[in-house]
Amino acid sequence: MRGELVKYLLGAQCAEERGFDKENPSFGGWDFLGQGDAHGVTTGTNVSVVCLVAEGLAAEGEAGSKQAKPIEAALGRSAAWTSRCQQKDGGFCFTPEPMSLNNKADFRDEARHEPRAYGTATCDGIRALLAAGVKADDKRIVRAVAWLAERPSLELVPGFEGLPPELGWQRGLRFYYYSTLAQVLPLLPATDVAARRKGLLEMLLKLQRGDGSFLNESDRMRENDPLIATGLGVVALGEVLGQIQA
């Protein structure tokens, strides 16, 4: 079963076998389609999906999968795709696909060629690069970590501060941000890690409801559904508590 899952993920990558050449902005990413679903067509690659697929494939490669070489090649392509999401300020956007409306923090320029980075995508970008074998001292990761270090906000997801509150993005990704931020906290400057970890833990405990669940007041990304918010909150809590106890 695991082998079949790996085979599916390898075939689902936007690469030559799915009709994508190396010049295509989607090349090396993953979307919501599999091999055979569509040739040269994508529903939109994004850093969240790439992060999760890369981490899954990396775990299989480390476990001695029989498909180790194809996994290594796929991760190499994903590292290049992820790098294209990194912006001039070091943060990451959601997708490198030109003018994509999926770049939730909007754009810095009227031509819509320079998407704004935001916290959730930046954490996922770091994780995707690490999963692909990029070292923590690589300049891409160092710059992304510096971006996060300069933006300690937990009340608002960094990157959305300048957007109108009525759009819902400032808090719409709150629990997703906590869950992915928790996993990259150890990379922050040593002088900041303990305080950031403490702040995140306190925020999670503050937001946890009496029945143990979590709920976002914003419905922008369906985190107003406790099944979604609680899953993300538990991931964040588990990661932070695990780091404290380590």
| Rounded distance between C-alpha atoms, residue 42 and residue 11, angstroms | 14
DSSP string over 61-122:
HHTT-TTHHHHHHHHHHHHHHHHTTB-TTS-B-S--STT-TT-TT-BSSTTS-SBPP-HHHH
Predicted confidence band at 68 (pLDDT cuts at 50, 70, 90)?
A: very high
pLDDT single digits (tens) 5-60? 999 999 999 999 999 999 999 999 999 999 889 899 999 999 999 999 999 999 99
pLDDT of residue 22: 96
pLDDT over threshold 80, residue 69 = yes
- Predicted local confidence at residue 62, as pLDDT: 86
pLDDT of residue 164: 86
Instruction: Report the run of H or E that residue 158 belongs to, with start and end.
Output: none
In the predicted model, is pLDDT for residue 124 greater than 80? yes
Q: Which residues contact 111 (CB under 8 A, 6 or more apart)?
A: none
Name the average pLDDT for the chain. Answer: 95
**CA gap 143, 125 in Å, rounded:** 11
Average pLDDT over residues 149-168: 91
- Band (pLDDT 50/70/90 cuts) for residue 111 is confident
Q: Give the mean pLDDT of 134-142.
A: 98
Give the confidence band of 74 by pLDDT, cuts at 50, 70, 90.
very high
Give Dmax (Cα) for the chain.
52
- The whole-number pLDDT of residue 231 equals 98
Q: What does pTM read for this prediction? A: 0.96
pLDDT of residue 166: 83
**Count of other CB atoms within 10 angstroms of residue 203:** 15
Residue 3 has a pLDDT of 85
Over residues 211-221, mean pLDDT: 95
pLDDT of residue 190 exceeding 80, the answer is yes
Q: Which residue in this structure is represented by tokens 């943060």?
A: 91
Reply yes or no on whether the pLDDT at 83 is more than 90: yes
pLDDT for res 61: 87
Predicted local distance difference test score (pLDDT) of residue 12: 97
Q: What is the mean pLDDT of residues 153-176?
A: 91
pLDDT value at 235 more than 90:
yes
